[in-house]
């Protein structure tokens, strides 16, 4: 587990058999295999004024403080592209490279955040975090297995790749079940 820039460096230098990424590098010769939805959500502390509102207009987020993933992370890239396409500039007050630190900062009232729904599953902080009903969300993203173009996977790497594809089916079911809660 590394930040995206470190993974891209490893990929460039052909250091590993495969990688799991949210935003595969377009500038490198790679094969990408989407295997799991990765919806991005806006979260707030449960006592936040927007927590009980429905269909929150996107522009209302402009006046809020945000805690963001570090520049270069897949979540940050996807969120930044989404907001830029809507001509919305967020008020980012803090950048953190760890989802757990972001969740605790949000729960502590330091700001809102955009995180993967996967980071919220099986969450012991359900009573401290609320998923906001913001127009345009969730942002639809995916997790990818990324392999350098032409790379022949070892038996172990191929077995792991096959396991990921099978396990993604049950993870997808869990993801959809958590949306119903």
Q: What is the pLDDT of residue 177?
A: 76
Instruction: Measure the CA angle with vertex 88, ends 83 and 94; round to 5°.
Output: 75
pLDDT at res. 170: 85
Task: Provide mean pLDDT across the span 104-132.
Answer: 88
pLDDT of res. 176: 76
Q: Provide Rg for the chain, Cα atoms.
A: 17
Where would I find the H helices in the chain? 4-12, 74-85, 99-107, 155-180
Residue 15 has pLDDT above 60, yes or no: yes
What is the pLDDT, as a whole number, of residue 115? 96
Would you place residue 181 in the very low, low, confident or very high pLDDT band (cuts 50, 70, 90)?
A: low
| Range with lowest mean pLDDT among 5-14, 51-60, 78-87, 123-132 | 123-132
pTM (2 d.p.): 0.88
pLDDT for res 180:
55
- Is the pLDDT score of 146 beyond 60? yes
In angstroms, the CA 113 to CA 141 distance is 16
What are the tens digits of pLDDT across the range 22-50?
999 999 999 999 999 999 999 999 999 99
Instruction: Give the DSSP letter of residue 41.
Output: E
């Amino acid at each position: 587990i590394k930040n995206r820039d470190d993974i891209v460096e490893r990929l460039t230098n052909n250091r590993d058999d495969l990688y799991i990424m949210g935003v595969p590098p377009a500038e490198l010769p790679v094969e990408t295999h989407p295997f799991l939805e990765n919806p991005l959500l806006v979260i707030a502390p449960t006592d936040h004024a927007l927590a009980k509102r429905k269909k929150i207009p996107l522009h209302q987020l402009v006046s809020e403080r945000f805690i963001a993933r570090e520049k270069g992370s897949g979540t940050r890239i996807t969120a930044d592209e989404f907001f830029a396409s809507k001509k919305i500039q967020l008020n980012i007050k803090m950048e953190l490279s760890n989802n757990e630190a972001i969740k605790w900062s949000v729960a502590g009232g330091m700001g809102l955040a955009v995180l993967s729904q996967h980071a919220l599953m099986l969450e012991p902080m359900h009573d401290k975090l609320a998923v906001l009903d913001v127009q345009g969300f969730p942002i639809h993203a995916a997790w990818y297995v990324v392999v350098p173009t032409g790379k022949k996977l070892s038996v172990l790497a191929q077995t792991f790749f096959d396991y990921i594809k099978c396990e993604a089916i049950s993870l997808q079911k869990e993801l959809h079940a958590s949306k119903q809660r």
